[in-house]
Structure 1
Amino acid sequence: MKVGKVPTEILEEVIFKNIQHKRPEVLVRPGIGEDCAVVDFGENVCVMSTDPITGAIKDIGSLSIHVTCNDIASNGVEPLGVMMTILAPVGTTKEDLNYVMQEANKAAASINVEIIGGHSEITDAVNRMVITTTAIGRQKKSDLVTSKGAKIGDSIIMTKHAGLEGTAILAADLEERLEKSISHEVIETAKGFAKKISVVKEGVLAGAVGVSSMHDVTEGGLLGALWELGEASDVGIEVYEEKIPVAPETLEICEVLSIDPFKLISSGVMIMAVSQDKENLLLETFEKNKIEAAVIGRIVEGEKVILRGGIKKVLEAPEADELYKVI
């Protein structure tokens, strides 16, 4: 198999098929496009998600916190704690670990999350640091939002701009290579995108407004996330390429590296389906809170497609992220 997420058909055939024992307390189980597990605790539910950071080198401590907390936010809930597992290669120094933990602590504090436990070890099983985090949140059962709730006629809204996280990673990790073709100012601006990777604020705000469905955009990029949302809700997707916000820095970096910004890892971007009668309220809420947002499509019957210059192209299940073509 290729580097990156296990293909969806293998997830269904091998991973999900072999999870057979069920407990009645589990309300949301593993599924395509589903970000979190949800466990019934009476009036409240416990929302949990876990993610590794494997495609980045710099800022790995900060990314490890934000990526998994973003999953919790996609359920419309504020994360409260994170457990962290650090697998570091032979040769890692005390200073290396100190830097990672300082960055993780800074990121956690910025979204009011506590690092509540985990594990760390030096191992020859990895050739660079790998961090896996598990985030936990608590929510009223009646307020639960999942990826499965999108309804025909809903508008599709995305926050920020496509390829956000991937642009920041590429600018930081491939800086020397990019400097041959791109100005220092563009690279520095692109590296600054790392400060926008949390979607906790917009996830909680959208949950309060009452959206039908949410999904944060990670590996596979925006198009992959749209396909997953449609798959989870068993609906069609119609998205308009000209309405998708993309930063000029992302376009320039992707052009130099010959990769597709719409298929580039995009933590920091949230997509959501919202009924048309709540669309304006949601956009006004985002604007009031200084969160960039745009309507990029709608939920329809039938196929999942993107319209490019009036021509329909069918969205496909996400494959290896564009990031892995160059890192």
Structure 2
Amino acid sequence: MKIGKVPTEILEEVIFKNIRHRRSEVLVRPGIGEDCAVVDFGDKVCVMSTDPITGAVKDIGSLSIHISCNDVASNGVEPVGVMMTILAPVGTTKEDLDYVMREANKAAASINVEIIGGHSEITDAVNRMVITTTAVGIQSKVSMVTSEGAKIGDTVIMTKHAGLEGTAIIAGDLEDTLKGKVSQEIIEAAKDFADKISVVKEGILAGKVGVNSMHDVTEGGLLGALWELAEASGVGIEVYEDKIPVREETLEICNALSINPLRLISSGVMVLAVSEDKKKQLMEAFRQQKIEAAEIGRIVEKDRIIFVGNERKVLQAPEVDELYKVI
């Protein structure tokens, strides 16, 4: 198999097929486009998500916190704590670990999350540091939001701009490669995208408004996340490329490396499906909190389409993220 997430068809045929034992307390189980597990605790539910960081080097501490907390926020939940496992290669120094943990703590504090435990070890099983985090949140059962709730007629909204995380990673880790291809001003501005990686604020806001579905954008980029949201909900989707915000920094860096910004890992971006009667309220809530948001499409009965100019193209399932073509 290629580097990156296990393909959708193999997830279904091998991974999900072999998870057969069930408990009645589990309300949300593994599925395409569903990043969180939800466990019943009476009037409350516990929402959990786990993710590794494998495609970045410089910001691995902060990214590891945000990526799993973003998944929990996609259920409209405020994350409370994070468990953190660090596998570090032989040769890692005390200073390396100190830097990672300082960055992780800074990220956790920025979204009011506590690092509540985990594991750390030096091992020859990896050739660079790998961090896996598991985020935990608590929510009222009646307020649950999942990826599978999109309804026909919903408006599709995205926050921020496509390719956000991937642009930051490339600018930080491949600065020498980019020099001479894009300006230093573009590189420095792109590095600052790392400060926008969290979607906790918009997730909590959207949960309060009452959206039908949310999904944060990770590997596979914006188009992959839109396909996953539609797949999880068993619906179609129509998206308009000319309505998708993409920053100039992302366009220049992606053009220089011949990669597609709409298929580039984009933690920091949330896609949401919201009913017509709540759309205005949601957009106003985002505006008041200075969260960029754009209407980019709608939920339809069956076909999954992206309109590129006057051309109608099939929206494909996520494949290898564009980041792995250059990292």
Give the TM-score, by structure 2 length.
1.00
Alignment match, 1:273: 273
Alignment match, 2:61: 61
Measured in 1, the distance between the counterparts of 2:197 and 2:153 equals 29
Alignment of 1:33-48 (within 5 A): 33-48=33-48
Measured in 2, the distance between the counterparts of 1:81 and 1:128 equals 26
Matched residues, number: 327
Alignment match, 2:241: 241
Alignment match, 1:198: 198
Alignment of 1:298-317 (within 5 A): 298-317=298-317
Alignment match, 2:175: 175
Measured in 2, the distance between the counterparts of 1:54 and 1:131 equals 7
1:188-215 Cα distance to aligned partner (Å, 9 max, x none): 0000000000000000000000000000
Measured in 1, the distance between the counterparts of 2:261 and 2:182 equals 17
Measured in 1, the distance between the counterparts of 2:145 and 2:309 equals 33
Amino acid at match of 2:237: I
1:13-38 Cα distance to aligned partner (Å, 9 max, x none): 00000000000000000000001000
Alignment match, 1:224: 224
Alignment of 1:98-117 (within 5 A): 98-117=98-117
1:130-181 Cα distance to aligned partner (Å, 9 max, x none): 0000000000000000000000000000000000000000000000110121
Alignment match, 1:86: 86
Alignment of 1:136-151 (within 5 A): 136-151=136-151
Identity of counterpart residues, as a percentage? 78
Measured in 1, the distance between the counterparts of 2:38 and 2:310 equals 40
- Deviation (angstroms), 1:301: 1.0
Amino acid at match of 1:133: T
- Structure 2 residues without counterparts, runs of 5 or longer: none
Amino acid at match of 1:246: V
- Secondary structure of the structure 1 residue equivalent to 2:325: helix
Which stretch of the first structure deviates more once superposed, 179-188 or 120-129? 179-188
Alignment match, 1:253: 253
Measured in 2, the distance between the counterparts of 1:183 and 1:66 equals 28
Measured in 2, the distance between the counterparts of 1:135 and 1:235 equals 29
Measured in 1, the distance between the counterparts of 2:311 and 2:278 equals 29
**Structure 1 consecutive aligned stretches of length 4 or more whose deviation exceeds 3 Å:** none
- Deviation (angstroms), 1:311: 1.3
Alignment match, 2:13: 13
Amino acid at match of 2:7: P
Give the TM-score, by structure 1 length.
1.00
Measured in 1, the distance between the counterparts of 2:130 and 2:209 equals 36
- Deviation (angstroms), 1:85: 0.2
- Structure 1 residues without counterparts, runs of 5 or longer: none
- Deviation (angstroms), 1:298: 0.2
Please give the root-mean-square deviation of Cα atoms over the aligned residues, in Å.
Answer: 0.4
Measured in 1, the distance between the counterparts of 2:166 and 2:285 equals 27
Measured in 2, the distance between the counterparts of 1:27 and 1:265 equals 28
Amino acid at match of 1:324: Y
Alignment match, 2:130: 130
- Deviation (angstroms), 1:93: 0.1
Measured in 1, the distance between the counterparts of 2:301 and 2:236 equals 5
- Deviation (angstroms), 1:310: 2.0
Alignment match, 2:96: 96
- Secondary structure of the structure 1 residue equivalent to 2:165: helix
- Secondary structure of the structure 2 residue equivalent to 1:57: coil
Amino acid at match of 2:135: A
